[in-house]
Amino acid sequence: MKKKIWLSLIMAVFLVACGQGVNDSSDQELDNTPSGTETKKSPDSSGNSNEKEDETATEETADNNSNSSNATTEKANETLADLNVHYIDVGQADATLLQFEDFHILYDTGDWRGNEVVNYLTSQNVSTIDLVIVSHPDADHVGQLENVVRAFDVGEVWMSGNESSSKTFRSAVEAVLNSDADYHEPQMGETFEMGNMDIEVVYPETISGQTNEESLSVRFTYGDVSFLFTGDADTDAEKYMVNAGVNLDADILQLGHHGSNTSSDPTFIETVSPSVAIYSAGIDNSYGHPHAEVISLFQGKGIDLYGTDVHGTIIVETDGKDYHVKTNKNGTIRPGNSTASDNSDTATDNGADAKSDSSSTENKSGCVDINNASIDELQRIKHIGPARAEELIERRPFQSVNDLNSINGIGPARITDIKEEGIACVQN
């Protein structure tokens, strides 16, 4: 799979005269998969040496005819190397490392303001990453992609195809174009294999520019154990997946949108039927993640719930049959303001510094001055997420709140919402 032409178009607009050539391809195999990585058992050669020659020939023929039909069973029954899935503590952002055999997959790349992902991967002795998947272009998911691509040998990058005008996204795209990584925009229904890992794209089927809602959602299956990631996909997207009939069954689910009530539709959760749910959020984040109703939903269903704001980096280890969860800290999950202790219940060093969002501060009038507020304070304003907050800062100063219509995705209706909320202001 090769870099697609849309990336060149983006760079032509944002990075004048980039000049990077790209090739379009419909190849659906992972180009960087080493040969010989899928282990297969040889047929059982034991038998009675006194059997007649014609009986032996019949048995051999039967074995040969059954090889193809038994391939899947053999793969499921073979002893697998351990898979470690690291839900990295990156504050109010997402980044997860899947580490197995000689392979490394990174799903989302953390917040643009930090370098925790590179530091953590380095602490895990990662030198190459076979596949980087970015769920969507928000700065808390694509944020450290540029650093990752520059620091490691990356085989392939997947994105949803939705774009952002933020500097973070443009820099990430430029880094991918200037690397040797292949590029692909997978869609619902596409399946891939990497060693003994099966990868199924469960969303989106098409894109329309709704970056959060159309997060690239992926189901990973290793032996009998499955993991599901949906980025910031909302409840409508979750319902679409359910109605589309794709296989959503998973033992471990990463909560959508950091535990926000914009995700985790009850029907979706019932369909996934996870035993463990994990969310990534910053301590005392300004969004109130995880939301109370989401916590209640999972606890009411008896699903074990973990969060990076409480437990630090969380690691799920599995041999493809059984799994167990290791945390860096002990703590109690509470809505919006989870608390954590420093007591470790594992000897594993997470290798990354915990990062928490700073508490919001208001100016004396109680509003958020869009010309002076920090990036965290700006995100208190309705419709202003990490990427838009970054773009807002780049475009300052503004004469009035109405001027926010210059921000990508902010139109008249959203300007009305922002003004009615009464938080955003311009102070002289």
Statement to judge: residues 376 and 418 lie in one domain: yes
Q: Can you give the pLDDT at residue 17?
A: 41
Residue 348 lies in a domain: no
The pLDDT tens digits of the residues spanning 341-379 come to 433 333 323 233 333 333 333 343 468 989 888 888 899
What is the number of domains present in the chain?
2
pLDDT at position 187 over 60: yes
The model's confidence at residue 300, banded by pLDDT at 50, 70 and 90, is: very high
How much of the chain, in percent, has pLDDT values that exceed 90?
61
pLDDT at position 309 over 70: yes
Q: How far apart are CA 99 and CA 387, in angstroms?
A: 29
**Spatial contact of 401 and 415, defined as CB atoms under 8 Å apart:** yes
Q: Can you give the pLDDT at residue 77?
A: 60
Angle (CA) 131 41 246, round 5°: 45
Statement to judge: residues 229 and 279 lie in one domain: yes
CA distances from 189 to 61, 172, 215, 284 (A): 36, 26, 15, 38
Q: Tell me what the mean pLDDT of segment 121-132 comes to.
A: 98
Element spanning 296, H or E: helix 292-300
**Spatial contact of 424 and 368, defined as CB atoms under 8 Å apart:** yes
Statement to judge: residues 392 and 334 lie in one domain: no
Residue 237 lies in a domain: yes
Q: Can you give the pLDDT at residue 75?
A: 54
Q: Tell me what the mean pLDDT of segment 90-102 comes to.
A: 97
**Spatial contact of 43 and 63, defined as CB atoms under 8 Å apart:** yes
pLDDT at position 39 over 70: no
Top pLDDT among 10 and 312 is at 312
Statement to judge: residues 318 and 211 lie in one domain: yes
- CB-based contacts of 29: which residues, under 8 Å, 6+ apart? 1, 192
Q: Can you give the pLDDT at residue 76?
A: 55
- CB-based contacts of 216: which residues, under 8 Å, 6+ apart? 133, 134, 135, 136, 158, 159, 160, 186, 201, 203, 204, 231
Q: Which of 292, 325, 340 represents a domain boundary (last residue)?
A: 340
Statement to judge: residues 329 and 416 lie in one domain: no
Statement to judge: residues 143 and 20 lie in one domain: yes
Statement to judge: residues 170 and 225 lie in one domain: yes
The model's confidence at residue 381, banded by pLDDT at 50, 70 and 90, is: very high
Statement to judge: residues 237 and 372 lie in one domain: no
How much of the chain, in percent, has pLDDT values that exceed 70?
75
The sign one gets for the Cα dihedral 270, 275, 280, 284 is positive
**Which residues are bridge partners to 129 per DSSP?**
154
Residue 73 lies in a domain: no
Q: Tell me what the mean pLDDT of segment 255-264 comes to.
A: 96
Residue 41 lies in a domain: no
Weakest mean pLDDT among 150-159, 200-209, 280-289? 280-289
Q: Which of 299, 322, 340 represents a domain boundary (last residue)?
A: 340
Statement to judge: residues 286 and 416 lie in one domain: no
Q: Tell me what the mean pLDDT of segment 377-399 comes to.
A: 88
Q: Can you give the pLDDT at residue 286?
A: 82
Statement to judge: residues 385 and 275 lie in one domain: no
Cβ neighbours around 421 below 10 Å, total: 12
* β-pairing verdict for 314-318 and 83-87: antiparallel
The domain that holds 417 is classified in CATH as 1.10.150.320
The model's confidence at residue 396, banded by pLDDT at 50, 70 and 90, is: confident
Residue 331 lies in a domain: yes
Residue 37 lies in a domain: no
The pLDDT tens digits of the residues spanning 223-244 come to 999 999 999 999 999 999 999 9
Residue 200 lies in a domain: yes
**Spatial contact of 296 and 305, defined as CB atoms under 8 Å apart:** no
The domain that holds 333 is classified in CATH as 3.60.15.10
The range of the structural domain enclosing residue 247 comes to 5-25+80-340
Two tokens, residue 276: 């463990």
- CB-based contacts of 146: which residues, under 8 Å, 6+ apart? 168, 171, 172, 174, 175
Query: Shortest CA distance to 90 belongs to which of 379, 409, 350?
Result: 350
pLDDT at position 23 over 70: no
Q: What is the mean pLDDT of the chain?
A: 81
Statement to judge: residues 298 and 398 lie in one domain: no
Two tokens, residue 393: 């800062």
Q: Tell me what the mean pLDDT of segment 9-38 comes to.
A: 42
The model's confidence at residue 30, banded by pLDDT at 50, 70 and 90, is: low
Residue 293 lies in a domain: yes
Statement to judge: residues 124 and 242 lie in one domain: yes
